[in-house]
Structure 1
Amino acid sequence: MKNSIVLLIAFWLSIGYATAQDSARYQLRLSVPIIDLPQNKDLPYSYPSMNQALEFSADLYELSYLGIDKLGNALFKPRKKEYTRGRKILNGAFKYLASLGFVKYGSELPIPLGVWAHEEFHRAVLGVNDIDSKNGNWFPHRWDGTVYGVGDQDLSILKSKDPSQLLYSYVAGVQSEILLNRKISVQDFYKKRTLAKNALILYNAWYVWDYFKFSASSQSDSVKVWVSKNENPDPKERDFAGADLTAWAYDMFSPEKPYTDRDKFPNGEGVNRRIGYSELSEEAQKYLLNQKKLSLLNFVNPAIFFINRIPLGKHSSFNFFLQYAPTHFGNNLALMLPVQYRNTDFLIGLHRFSNFKSQGYGLDLGLYNRQLSKRLKTDVVLHFWDQPTSFYKDKKITGGSFQIDGRYRVAGNVSISLSVVGKTKGWEMGSPYLKSNVSSRLGLAYALK
C-alpha cells in the first residue's frame, strides 16, 4: 500500500493546479478501447475485456442519444421562427420519451448495448478463470440473452476450486448496469450534455430491481419448468446460470455442496442449472428478498428526477447517488459524491461491504480532467477497501487500487487515451480479477461540443 499512499499525497497536492472549468455542453463523448492487457491476451476468446464491453455499450448509447437529440431538434426547434417555451417543452418531452423507449427495448438488441454488456461481464469473470464461452446476445451467434458454451464440468470444477469466482460470475452481469450508471452519473456531471441520460439511469436501476423481483418470486420456479422443456439437450448450448440471482443465492448459501447436486436436466444431459426460488433454503429466501429491497437504493439518484447537478454557489456544484451491488461475498452499498469546486472535478465515494454477518468499509478518491497542457488531460482515481473474503467468513481483505488515465489530443476532437490500472487482492466493480492485477489500456477518445 506504500504506492497508494504516495498516489494519495500526489492526488491532494495536484488539486490546486487544475485549469478552468469547462462550461461547454457536449453532444457526444466517445471512448473507444482498442487494447486492454492482459485480458486481450489471456481471455480464451481474447476480445472484448470487461472494460471494453462497458465502453462499447456506453459509446453506442452515446450515438443513440445523439440521434434522438438531433431528431428532436429537427422536429421541434425551428431555424428561423422563435423557439417558444411550448416548443421547448414538446422537444424535451419527445427526447425523454424517445430515449426511454429506446433504452427499454433497444437495450435488448443483439448489439453492444445493455444486455450484450451484461453477458460480456459474465464472460469476463469466467474467462479469467480459463472458461471459454459465447455471448448469446450477439447477432453473429444468437439472440436470447444467454452465456453459452460452458460445460457442467467447468462450473463444477470452478465451484470446488474457488466458489467465490463462481459467485462473482453470477452477479457480474447486473454489475454492468450498475457500473454504467456510475460512469454516466459521474462523467456527465463533469461535462454538461445537450441531452442528459436520465432515462438510461432510470432503466438500469429498474433492470436490477426487476431482476431481483423476478428471482425472489414463484416466477423463477415457473420459468425453470417451462424453459427447461425447450432448452437444448446439450449442456454447452444452455445458459451457464439460468436466473443469475437465484443461482447466486443457492450457491452462496451452500458453498460446500457440489455443483452437480442439482436436479437432472429433463430430456437431456447434465444438470438443470436453473434454480427456482422455492429451491432456496428459508434463510436464503429471506436474504434474497432483503437484497431486492436494498436494490431500490439504485433509484436514489437525482439525475433520474432531472436534477443533474446541485449548485452550491457561483463556482461550485455537486450531486450524489446511492448504489447497491450484489457481490461474491454479499453486497456493496455506496454513496458517490461527484463535486466541482472552482476549477476542480473530484469524486468521493464511501462504501460498506457486507457479508452474512460482518461488514467492512471503503473509500474512493478521484481527481478528473486535470489539464497538464493544452493537449494533455489526466484522471487519477484511488480506491481503498476492507472487505469480507467470502459470505460466511469473518476474515477481511485490506487493499486498494489505482487508475491513472491520460488523454492526449492529436487532432481536432480526437485524443489518444492511455490507462494504467493496478489493484491488490479483493473485489472491485469493473475488474474481473479477485486476485491482484496490473492492466494497461490503449484507445481513442472523441468529444463533440
Structure 2
Amino acid sequence: MKAQILFTALVLQFSVSLQAQDPEVYRLRLDIPLFDYPQNLSLPGYFPSMNQSLEWSRDFYELGFYGIDALGNAIFRPGNNPGYQLRNISNHAFKYLSGLAFSRYASELPIPLGVWAHEEFHRTVLGEAGVPSKNGNWLFHRWDGTVYGIPDEMLEILKADEPDRLLNSYVAGVQYEVILNRRISTGDFYHHRSLAKNALLLYNAWYVHNYFRFSTSAASDSVKIIAPPHEDPDPALRDYAGADLTAWAADMFNPGLPYTETRDPFPNGEGVNRRVGFSDLSSEAQEYLVRQKRLSLLNFLNPAILFVNRIRLSPEFSFNLFTQYAPTHFGNDIALFVPLKIMDHNLLVNAHRYGNRSAAGYGIGLGVFDFRLSERMSADMEMDLWNQPASFWLNEKKAGGSLSIRPQFIISRAISGYIRLSGKTHGWQMGNPYLEKNLSVQLGMNINVGIPD
C-alpha cells in the first residue's frame, strides 16, 4: 500500500513537468449561474435548470477540493527547498487520496454534488416534457438517490407520445458525469490549479462504467427482486426508472409496446415493478447493452486521470486530448476532445460519432474561451454542427447545430459577471434538455481565487 501511495505521488510530481506554467495558479474557480431562460420559467419546479445543476455541483466539488488543498498544506507545510521533497510527496499523496475519497463518498450526500445533480439531469428532461418530479437525493425531500412523484400512467403516456424524451430522461443521469468530466478537464487545462480534480475525473469515469457493469450483470435481476419490499406501495413514490440503463434498453428495443407491458406487476402492490433486470431484455438488447459497457471504457482515456492536465510542446503551444462516451436516446455519442492553448488563446476542437442501432452520423465543434476583448471584457464562443440519427431504429439523419456566445464583464480580479446566449436547432446536445430547437439566455457570475503573488 505504501508503495502504491509513493508511486502515485511520484507520478504527480512528474506530471508537473508536462504542464505549462501559467502566470497565475488558481485555488478556486466558481461558476454560479443565477438565472436560466426559459428553464427557470417553464420547468415544473422552475429551479434548477440543467446547467445550474451542473455548475452548482461543480462549485461544491470546487469547494471540497479547495478545503482538501488547504488542509494538506496545513498538515505537511510543503516548500521548494530540496529538503522538502518527502513533505511534498506526502502532501500530493494525501490530497489525491482525500480527493478520491471525497469524490466517492461525498457525492452521495443530499446536497448539490454528484448524485443530486445526476437526479436533477433526469428531472430537467422530464420537466421539459411536462412531467413534474422530485429529487430523492435532496436534504429537504429524502436521501435515496431516486427521482419520484411520477405515476405509472404518466410514464405510459410519455412513452406513447414522446418516446425520445423518455429515453433521453433515462440516460441524462449518466450524461451528467460525462459532461462534468468534460468541463473539469477543459477548465483545469486552460487554468493551472493548485489542486486539479484528477481524482474526481477517475471516479466519474468509474461511475459510468460501473453502472453499465451492474446493468449487464445478474445483480440487476437480484435488485429487481430484493428492492420492491422496501419500496412505497404508491407507484408515484417509487423511483421512476429503477435501473436507468436497463430501462433505457428495454424501452428503446420495444418502441411499439406500452410502458406497462415491458414491466412486471409490482409484487403485492399497485402498478408495475419499474425495475428491469438484464435477463428481461431480448438477446439483441443484451448484446447491445454489453457493447455499450465496453464503449464506456473510453471515458478512462483521459491523460488528466493520470495527472497530466496539459502537455506542453513549447512556451507558446500546449494541448491535451481525451475521449468520451455517452448513451443517448438514439444510441450513443462517441467523441474526441482536443483542448489547445496557443499563446494566450484557449481553443477546443471536438469530433463526434453519433450511432444508432445500425448507422451513424458525425459532428464537429469548435470553441474559443477567455478571448480578451478589452481590459474589462472577455468572451467565450462555441459552435457545433451535427448530422444525427433521427432515432434508434431509423437510419434517416437530421442535420443541425448550435451556437453559444458568452460575454464576460470583469468587475475585479476575483469577480466577473456574464450573460450567455445560446441557440440550437433540432437535435441532441449534451447538457441541453431540449431535443427541438431552442434559444436560451443565462445570467451568472464567476469567483476566481488565485494564489497571492
Task: Report the TM range for the smaller structure's normalisation.
Answer: over 0.9
Distance 1:401 1:412 in 2: 31
Distance 2:79 2:188 in 1: 27
Give the corresponding residue for 2:10.
none
Distance 1:386 1:442 in 2: 30
Give the corresponding residue for 1:45.
45
Report deviation, 1:79: 8.0
Stretch of structure 1 that moved more, 106-115 or 305-314? 305-314
Give the corresponding residue for 2:129.
129
Report deviation, 1:343: 2.1
List per-residue Cα deviations over 1:303-336 (Å, max 9, x = no partner).
Answer: 0011111112121110000000000000000000
List per-residue Cα deviations over 1:340-382 (Å, max 9, x = no partner).
Answer: 0112110000000000010000001000110111111110000
- Aligned residue identity for 2:281: L
Aligned residue runs from structure 1 range 277-356, under 5 A: 277-356=278-357
Aligned residue runs from structure 1 range 47-446, under 5 A: 47-77=47-77, 84-261=84-261, 262-446=263-447
- Aligned residue identity for 2:419: L
Distance 1:289 1:105 in 2: 27
CA contact (8 A) 1:405 1:417 kept: yes
- Aligned residue identity for 2:370: N
CA contact (8 A) 2:363 2:387 kept: yes
Distance 1:206 1:256 in 2: 34
Report deviation, 1:227: 0.2
- Aligned residue identity for 2:432: S
- Aligned residue identity for 1:406: P
List per-residue Cα deviations over 1:278-313 (Å, max 9, x = no partner).
Answer: 000000000000100000000000000111111121
* Percentage identity across paired residues of the two chains: 56
Report deviation, 1:80: 11
List per-residue Cα deviations over 1:42-62 (Å, max 9, x = no partner).
Answer: 000000000000000000000
- Aligned residue identity for 2:283: E
- Aligned residue identity for 1:30: L
Report deviation, 1:444: 1.1
- Aligned residue identity for 1:420: L
- Aligned residue identity for 1:89: I
Report deviation, 1:180: 0.2
Figure out how many residues of one structure are paired with residues of the other and give that number: 429
SS for the counterpart of 2:406 is: strand
Distance 1:118 1:57 in 2: 10
Stretch of structure 1 that moved more, 308-317 or 206-215? 308-317
Give the corresponding residue for 1:17.
none
CA contact (8 A) 1:77 1:83 kept: no
Specify every segment of 5 or more residues in structure 1 that has no aligned partner in the other structure, as ranges: 1-20
Give the TM-score normalised by structure 2: 0.93
- Aligned residue identity for 2:287: K
CA contact (8 A) 2:35 2:443 kept: yes
Distance 2:364 2:23 in 1: 29
Distance 1:186 1:80 in 2: 28
Report deviation, 1:411: 3.2
SS for the counterpart of 1:333 is: strand
CA contact (8 A) 2:326 2:332 kept: yes
Distance 1:82 1:22 in 2: 23
Distance 2:309 2:412 in 1: 30
CA contact (8 A) 2:26 2:194 kept: yes
SS for the counterpart of 2:395 is: coil
Distance 1:83 1:157 in 2: 68
Give the corresponding residue for 1:12.
none
Distance 1:173 1:227 in 2: 20
SS for the counterpart of 2:200 is: helix
- Aligned residue identity for 1:275: V
List per-residue Cα deviations over 1:93-145 (Å, max 9, x = no partner).
Answer: 00000000000011001000000000000000000011000000001100000
Distance 2:99 2:376 in 1: 33
SS for the counterpart of 1:29 is: strand
Give the corresponding residue for 2:3.
none
SS for the counterpart of 1:260 is: helix
SS for the counterpart of 2:383 is: strand
Give the corresponding residue for 1:7.
none
CA contact (8 A) 2:78 2:91 kept: no
Distance 2:253 2:410 in 1: 50
CA contact (8 A) 2:186 2:339 kept: yes
Distance 1:275 1:162 in 2: 20
CA contact (8 A) 1:167 1:327 kept: yes
Distance 2:113 2:409 in 1: 27
SS for the counterpart of 1:312 is: strand
CA contact (8 A) 1:407 1:445 kept: no
List per-residue Cα deviations over 1:162-212 (Å, max 9, x = no partner).
Answer: 211100000000000000000000111000100011000000000000000
Report deviation, 1:81: 8.8
List per-residue Cα deviations over 1:227-256 (Å, max 9, x = no partner).
Answer: 012110101100000000000000000011
Distance 1:410 1:93 in 2: 37
Specify every segment of 5 or more residues in structure 2 that has no aligned partner in the other structure, as ranges: 1-20
Report deviation, 1:24: 1.1
- Aligned residue identity for 1:230: H
- Aligned residue identity for 2:293: K
Give the corresponding residue for 1:5.
none
SS for the counterpart of 2:273 is: coil
What RMSD over aligned residues (CA atoms) do the two structures have, in Å?
Answer: 1.3
Change (3 A) 1:266 1:398: same
Give the corresponding residue for 1:8.
none
